[in-house]
Structure 1
């Protein structure tokens, strides 16, 4: 039994009165039950589902399942199946079976391959997708996507299945099919409860009971056949118009007055009492209805009684390492299946060093002459300027490639992450999975660029280790910072825009083009990733002929290589912390 008692939820207002979203909501549902949560937009349906899913906390009230208050002791993630309203939580480049298998591996510990296959096959049959199990998700029609979305919630065999606007956008025939599907899902496990929040008033008879909500109040709870009588309307379609004729609080008070009578009449609990319509509350009301005829008194059919003969154990969650391992493997598989992404990475791997080499070529002769010992001013100064600029260009190109990875990594997949987080995937697992996917790409790109430019130029000035390590560290640090932005931004467009702004600030403020006043530079540069990559390599040229002209050309202090590496490590750590904080936030 799921029991909701006096649940209230208030959203604090900014410079205005707090908004009371839910007001003393109370109802219950037994196992094997499908409940429709209906009401006009803004009635509090989604907020109630989010409270049940543990996504937000109520102001007051209790929630219990199997007699345990899960506000105090949250449900195990595998006891909950969450079906969100949006369709963007599916992984487009995986097949139907692969989507379900991925969810099963992230939610089930110690499962053998055969057990995963068996569980996924059962879900495929339950939701009616066994005939298209090998189709990619991107090729599915809307009804098939909805079935897959429900299947993802069922792979852990949950007790409580919450569906938010599951049938929105579907035609009438598909709506009927999906409501029948929800009944099949409830029947698949005797103690399972399915709640569907919807604005639709069509096919209410397909549900075991209906809860009508209005501006946060429960206005009715009972069988669909009783809804027209209670609201004194001839058809379901007129219920919302009827609700609008009376303040929501009066509907709530009226239901509290008549609730026990209806519960007794329809064997939903409570004590026996005379059955009344809500219209009887106002004696002068024209739309008074006749009292409902007494029910035949027959017992509920055996097929509809909820009897839990055995309690299935809750599937344990896999450990952090197992989740990270699967997320990294899945991310690389998705890259291979997305030509646009891997072609972009390969193009940058080839094109970025080629572009830097083209910018290096005009003064390549001067560089070689200075390395051979020439100290003439007309050779030394152009060569030193070229050395400084090629290091800066190299660092900025690495930062640009890191931005393309980090800014998109979480923001484009936020809906997938939120769905998997509700299913028990740890935020730290997603963080590590993202880093272990990005960092190898950043390291390969930066190291290859340095090696390529060294080969083309015959050897750029500077110490070997800083030249190799600092670009790689700069890319890793900036990728982590962009990942933090990606995790905290409200949209992928916002994440990309903010990351580009930060990259532009790195170009202007790193000190490679023109130096800031020394005092101001010491204040600003600790926040500028590019400064440490660029200046650390320049400082490693101190014992070469190139250093003195560069020092005179730019009024920027140069960080020693060890300091630069330390600061880039700090930037990397800051990015990791920002990412973790962003992943902990609910979107």
Structure 2
């Protein structure tokens, strides 16, 4: 069913090859073992076939060369070593959401299919158990169930039995055998326990990046001159890779077309249900948002942190404002003209106004910086932390555009809501003047734009720690480069200002107070140009669109951690 010819696999383009000219064939309806010493290239071979890693050579399905690897994914699924699922979902929820993402059908059929898969892998009694509570063997079974949601004809398994106790290992192999005999699947399994090879139909041996044998176990023992499969690796070390490769090539040449590694094209099977029945972008988007909401309310640690900063940061602003509220209220009672005349007449009043202006300006920039920190928390880890899960779901049929939109909507709406709450809470308690609409718009867009920019960084990086660190650096440089607290050299002001969200949030909020004494007081300290709210919202909107572009770009490119 599945074959490769002269396949060379590299970790990166132009990097040294990890698999060299591999040729192998895995017949339909068989349970095939893929073995070899640690680090010999077994997993690399599977990833090269699936185009997870860059490769050169031919991959054939049913004896026909593939025009693209996307065609391969219609019939072939990949089960990684460890189950990839959200720990805060139950087993039934994890499988149910996968079915909704990949299969377009009614709820009753999906529910029946969910029960069928759980029963098939022996998890029917664990449907209500959180994924994070499963044992190692149960996680491997869940991984198999998730891959079977697309009903693939061929399943490639990467060490799904490694690290398990003998009983759990036998149970997993029994599930794989049932898939072959009862469902007609083709299963290729990387396995380390050579004592289990008798349970497989064929054995493929990889040594130092080269396929040096493929065939039944008995023939393998004869070929290598050993009486027990456990002696294989010691036997391999007695000769070089080139010698084993040449010896295998001689066997292939002698057997000719009858050899398992050579396959004649077979009639292509009927069209795959997996592609024709894939849900629309809108349907996948709704499913992803529903799953994200469930994860938000289920993950109490993250939920409490988000609520703490959403409600706690505005309280910090008010606390810092308490000492200056009397002066701020007194200044607000003055008329604009009277206040200016007073400043011109009395130096003491000018000093009081300057102190109040500093307080008002500082409170505004403090709000903006805190919103940027909230945005970093919203977006920095959102994609990078689940990158492996996303790449796996994309192989199974998840549309990148649906995934990108789900993350954009979640982070942008969360950031905007935090900005709106900051505006309302601080404005009411500190009695800041200015138009409600303008100030709500400025701080809401500030929160949304920084959340999406940090989400864009998360989409571009595969490590959540790197994404978080870079986002913190981005927020950290916002304050000094805004020029609000520390004056920038004139040559740098407009070189960096377009990229600094804190300046636009601060200036847009402040200029919404144009008709108040607060604005006049700040104007005595800063004679430079201040952005009006509409311009500030426009620039922050451009930041948001830039972050969104990074999200779409990052989700389109392959980035296996």
What is the TM-score with the length of structure 2 in the denominator?
0.91
Cα deviation 1:374-421 (Å, max 9, x = unaligned): 633243222211211111111111111111110121122222212211
User: How far does the alpha carbon of each residue in 1:221-273 deviate from its partner, in whole angstroms, 9 at most, with x for none?
Assistant: 011222222112232222122222222122112101012556899x84779xx
What is the alpha-carbon distance in structure 2 between the residues aligned to residue 245 and residue 13 of structure 1?
A: 33
Native 8 Å contact 2:214 2:260 kept in 1: no
Aligned 1:507-522 pairs, distance under 5 A:
507-522=479-494
2:328 is aligned with 1:367: yes
Over 3 Å counting, the alpha-carbon distance change for 1:215 and 1:309 in structure 2 is: closer
> Deviation at 1:50?
1.2
Does the 8 Å contact 1:44/1:215 carry over to 2?
A: yes
1:127 paired to 2:127: no
Q: State the secondary structure of the residue aligned to 2:77.
A: strand
Does residue 6 of structure 2 align to residue 47 of structure 1? no
Q: Taking structure 1 as reference, are residues 71 and 256 closer, same or farther at Cα in structure 2, changes over 3 Å only?
A: farther
8 Å contact kept, 2:82–2:140: no
2:88 is the counterpart of 1:114 = no
Q: CA distance change for structure 1 residues 462 and 258 in 2, over 3 Å: closer, same or farther?
A: same
Say whether the 8 Å CA contact 1:264–1:270 is kept in structure 2: yes
Identify the range of structure 1 (528-537 vs 51-60) with the bigger mean alpha-carbon deviation.
Answer: 51-60
Matching of residue 35 in structure 1 with residue 35 in structure 2: no
CA 1:385–1:269 in structure 2 vs 1: closer, same or farther (change >3 Å)? closer
Contact (CA 8 Å) 2:23, 2:261: kept in 1 or not? no
Does structure 1 residue 505 correspond to structure 2 residue 477?
yes
2:4 maps to which residue? 4
Q: Name the SS for the 2:113 alignment partner.
A: helix
For residues 337 and 249 of structure 1, the distance between their equivalents in structure 2, rounded to whole angstroms, comes to 55
State the shift of 1:514 in Å: 1.3
Deviation at 1:481, TM superposition (A): 1.0
The gaps in structure 2 that reach 5 residues or longer are 340-348
Say whether 1:344 aligns with 2:316.
Answer: no
Root-mean-square deviation (Å)? 2.4
Contact 2:33-2:190 within 8 A present in 1 as well: yes
Q: Distance in 1 between matches of 2:453 and 2:257?
A: 60
Question: Do residues 544 (structure 1) and 516 (structure 2) align?
Answer: yes
How far off its partner does 1:112 sit? 0.5
For the residues of structure 1 that align with 2:122 and 2:169, how far apart are their CA atoms? 15
The Cα shift of 1:3 comes to 2.4
TM-score, structure 1 normalization = 0.87
Please give the residue correspondences for 1:113-192 in structure 2 after superposition, counting only pairs within 5 Å.
113-190=107-184, 192=185
2:392 is the alignment partner of 1:399: no
Cα distance change of structure 1 residues 343 and 65 upon mapping to structure 2, 3 Å threshold: same
Q: Which piece of structure 1 moves more, 569-578 or 252-261?
A: 252-261
Q: Whose helix proportion is higher, 1 or 2?
A: 2
Worse-matched range after superposition: 432-441 or 374-383? 374-383
1:119–1:471 Cα change, 3 Å = same
- Secondary structure in structure 1 of the residue aligned to 2:92: helix
**Which position in structure 2 is the counterpart of 1:379?**
352
| 1:390 aligned onto 2:363 | yes
Q: Is the 8 A contact 1:263 1:269 kept in 2?
A: no
Partner of 2:98, secondary structure, is helix
Equivalent residue for 1:256, pick from 240, 249, 261 = 249
Alignment of 1:277-356 (within 5 A): 313-315=272-274, 316-356=277-317
Give distance in 2, aligned partners of 1:169 and 1:247.
29
**Contact kept in structure 2, 1:222 and 1:262, CA below 8 Å:** no
1:487 and 2:459 matched? yes
For residues 437 and 260 of structure 2, what CA distance do their matches in structure 1 show? 75
Match of residue 195 from structure 1: 188
Three-state SS of the structure 2 residue aligned to 1:203 is: helix
CA distance in 1, matches of 2:12, 2:334: 72
Q: 1:86 aligns with which of 71, 82, 88?
A: 82
- Give the CA deviation at 1:472: 0.8
Q: Distance in 1 between matches of 2:200 and 2:382?
A: 41
Q: Within 5 Å, which residues of 2 pair with 1:225-240?
A: 225-240=218-233
Q: Where does residue 103 of structure 1 map in the other structure? A: 98
Q: 1:585 — aligned with what?
A: 558
SS at match of 2:381: helix
Task: Note the C-alpha offset of 1:133.
Answer: 1.5
Q: How does 1:427-442 map to 2 (within 5 A)?
A: 427-442=400-415
For residues 47 and 361 of structure 2, the distance between their equivalents in structure 1, rounded to whole angstroms, comes to 55
Which secondary structure state, in structure 2, belongs to the residue aligned with residue 211 of structure 1? strand
Cα 1:437–1:12 change in 2 (3 A) is closer
Deviation of 1:582 after TM superposition, in Å, equals 2.1
User: Number of matched residues?
Assistant: 543
Is the alpha carbon distance of 1:241 and 1:76 closer, same or farther for their aligned partners in structure 2, counting shifts above 3 Å? Answer: closer
Per-residue CA deviation, residues 296-315 of structure 1 (Å, 9 max, x unaligned), is xxxxxxxxxxx999958423
Moved more, 375-384 or 331-340: 375-384
Q: Which whole-Å CA distance do the structure 2 matches of 1:27 and 1:389 have between them?
A: 68
Aligned to 2:344: none
Distance across 1 between alignment mates of 2:544 and 2:262: 60
Correspondent of 1:454 among 423, 427, 435: 427
Gaps of 5+ in 1: 272-306
